[in-house]
Amino acid sequence: MEEKSIPSGEAPKPAPKGKGMWIGIAVVVVVVVVLLAALLGGLFSIPEERVLKIGTVLSITGTLAAFGTKNRQGVVMAAEEINAAGGVLDQAIQLFHQDDNTRPETARSAAATLVSQNRVDAIIGATGSGQCSTVIEVAKANGVFEISGSCTSPRFSNDTLTADWWARTAPSDALQGVVAASYAHSTSAGNLSFTRAAVIGIDNAYGTGLAEVFHDNFIRFGGTMVAPAEIVPEIVAGSPVPDYTTNLETILNTNPRPEVLYIVAYPPEGIQIIKNFETASGANPAWGSIQLLFSEGVFEQAAFLDVLRNPPNSYNISAYLGTAPSPYGGVRGADYPGWAADYQTRWSTAPGLFDDNNYDGAYLVALAAQKGGSATGATIRANIVSVANPPGTKVYPGEWAKARSLLANGTDVDYEGASGAVNIDNLGDPLSGYVVWGINATGQAVNRQIFPEPLVVSLLPAPPAYAPEANRYLAPWSPEARGKEE
């Protein structure tokens, strides 16, 4: 057929209405596809620096599992409260969790996963100082801020190690070691007044650090250490349990013998040390006169004291004494009972050791990001000391809406936490009072003596207390430890 031409001057006829409608729909579809692609590509997404991402590296399994699971609940509780009150920088906190199995190398891998896969701005953890020592390496290398609620080794009070990418809400054992040494040696009323001591500690940052502080300060106070600090292996799940008998004989069968033995351990190692002590004491009857003094690492009624006093062990624990930060002995701030009630409501269980410290760690990270206006590790690092200390309007647990309003108006805040004041210094260390705990007639741990914070401060050595040697404890108040002029 011949194609018909359109006569000259005659306008083309419009396309049928149905065809035009489909063209319009096609255009709309194309626009929607373009918009979705732009959205998925990040054109309209929230900038990453506006979303606070927090990772946890805690001992959910392993020898410190009794702490880690509940510590994580403290972090979750803080994030839930903050998100319900508007979030950080108007965005919900994102949480990512890792289990370190109470192993340093696992903790390192866990931290690396949080950094590379989840792109976190801060890490809360770890549970033990040995794990913290590997997490901080990953954190500072990647511009991520680490804050711990339970790593107490004095070795973290060192700018060379942490480069200011670190803080903690539990006090350094630089304080506990001084209190324990003073209590063991001092002739003041209520103290032990011993002149000879020995110390045994587990082979990690916590055990070696605290054992060394006790050793050095007992000598500083005028006492005699009968032997160097005895460092023993940790208990590792799946491996044979070490026998510490030879270690005990090395430091207890000296001439003269120690009058007091300070034991720095966690419950698994502490239980094994006591089992070996009780067994070997049959052949060493003089050990019966040695006072056992424990660190806060074994300050656990169910996981330590009850295991030793109940069958099948049935040991006499009535003379046991120990040291611990005041909050662990129940000497807490006025705001703790209300927070503890909220924790009980949320988790149907009472809070335990370090749960409040981990809650406070999450709160401080959030406050630092909010104050700095950016959810980045660098911003948290730059603002963490400011929001933890005076001057500023007091902000307490659960008062996120108040904190947001104050910071929005340019008003400084001073966070008073569930665990106490958490006034951290430039090394990320808070101060604390301490208690000496003993055992009552029913086998329960009770406070025997209280060392208020001003008394603790008065016992600290004048800087510089120790030479800045590699892997050696440095007094956190000394210029060498701070790595800067004062």
Among 294, 310, 292, smallest CA distance to 302 is for 310
Angstrom CA distances, 220 to 48, 189, 282, 461, 465, stand at 51, 20, 34, 8, 10
In the chain, % of residues over pLDDT 70: 86
Tell me the per-residue pLDDT of 71-83, one tens digit each, with 9 for 90 and over.
Answer: 999 999 999 999 9
Q: What is the pLDDT of residues 180-201, one digit of tens each?
A: 999 999 999 999 999 999 999 9
Q: What is the mean pLDDT of residues 22-43?
A: 53
Residue 206 has pLDDT above 50, yes or no: yes
CB 202 within 8 A of CB 232: yes
| Domains, the chain, with CATH or none | 48-170+354-415 (3.40.50.2300), 174-331+433-461 (3.40.50.2300)
Query: Which is nearest to 183 in space by CA: 377, 424, 443, 450?
Result: 450
Judge contact between 339 and 419, C-beta under 8 A: no
Closest CA to 125 of 362, 440, 368: 362
pLDDT of residue 327: 83
Q: What is the pLDDT of residues 404-413, one digit of tens each?
A: 999 999 999 9
User: Which of 423, 275, 418, 238 lies closest to 342, judged by CA?
Assistant: 418
**For residue 267, how many other CB atoms are within 10 A of its CB?**
22
